[in-house]
Amino acid sequence: MPDLLSLVVQQTINGVYLGCLYVMVALGLTLIYGVMNQINFAHADFVTVGAFVALFTMTRLATKMLGMPEVAGYLLSIVFALGAGALLGLAVNAAVFAPLRDRGDELRPLIATIGVSVLLENGQLALFGPIPYQFDSPLAKETLRFGKIFFSLQNVLVVAVSAAAVAALYAFLKFTFLGKALRAVSQDRETSGLMGINQSFLIGLTIVIASALAGMGGALLGPGLVLDPFAGATVIVKAFAIVIIGGFGNLAGTILAGILVGIIEAFTIQYLGAGLIDLVVFVLLLTMLVVKPTGLIAERREENV
């Protein structure tokens, strides 16, 4: 295989891996916007919580207390991070979002997400301190090679988990009663309420699912981050960019934009250097806003979520 072709294939594989990581974070943002027409500014901190839960599950619970192998411990930590994200979303919705939403003011829940973000960041700062933690995935040490092409088992795991999460979310939204009811709320909240659909329950369910995805995303992202109480902020801005590029509230657009940004980022690292990654991504975002402000897939309420 010629060197140039090998390089293109290698960077494309790296880009798909990065894109899957971003998709895991951006899906929750898209889901909440698609159903509630709101932005959750605390989403980054849900990612950070998931990363910390995964770290301590693997290093303290699984390997030390239960004596599990590192690989099994890391896989268990992903499940725990997903559960922690779901529980956190359930608690925050019950304590903050639901009471404010019942007052009929759309601005207050939005502002509340900023307060939740500050609360979570300072809570984690008090618990874990400002010094970064090292989160090593045992799968990152195992490399597969096919000629000049190589990738780690961590890459395989990220792509597999992301694909499974997207497939499960799609199946839930398209083929289950709750998923169809959630889509109805997204398309026309007033009419769905008249049809007897419990909107408060479904909005709470949306927040729980989005938070679970964020927690699992944190477990997958953790080994690639400088893990501190503000770690999620390093990826959330890029996740917002992906949501905008893909088309606000559109799951298919978010997946497409995430993979596209990941591939562009991989080639940027190869040819321009890591220091220009954010510049290239946001040039792409500004170009999209000028040329096609509706995003890659234009927002249509009947097709969102």
d(CA 299, CA 305) in angstroms, rounded, equals 11
Per-residue pLDDT, 274: 80
pTM, entire model: 0.92
Q: Is residue 64 part of a domain?
A: yes
102: confidence class by pLDDT, cuts 50, 70, 90:
low
Number of domains in the chain: 1
Residue 268 has pLDDT above 60, yes or no: yes
What pLDDT score was predicted for residue 18?
93
108 or 207: whose pLDDT is higher?
A: 207
State the DSSP code for 65.
I
DSSP-based three-state secondary structure for 133: strand
253 domain residue, yes or no: no
Q: Is residue 86 part of a domain?
A: yes
Quote the Cα angle for 155-275-238, to 5°.
60
User: Is 261 inside a domain boundary?
Assistant: no
Q: By residue range, what is the domain housing residue 200?
A: 16-234
Bridge partner list, 149? 146
- What's the mean pLDDT when you consider all of the chain? 89
Tell me if 228 is assigned to some domain: yes
Q: How confident is the model at residue 86 (pLDDT cuts 50, 70, 90)?
A: very high
- Is 299 contained in some domain? no
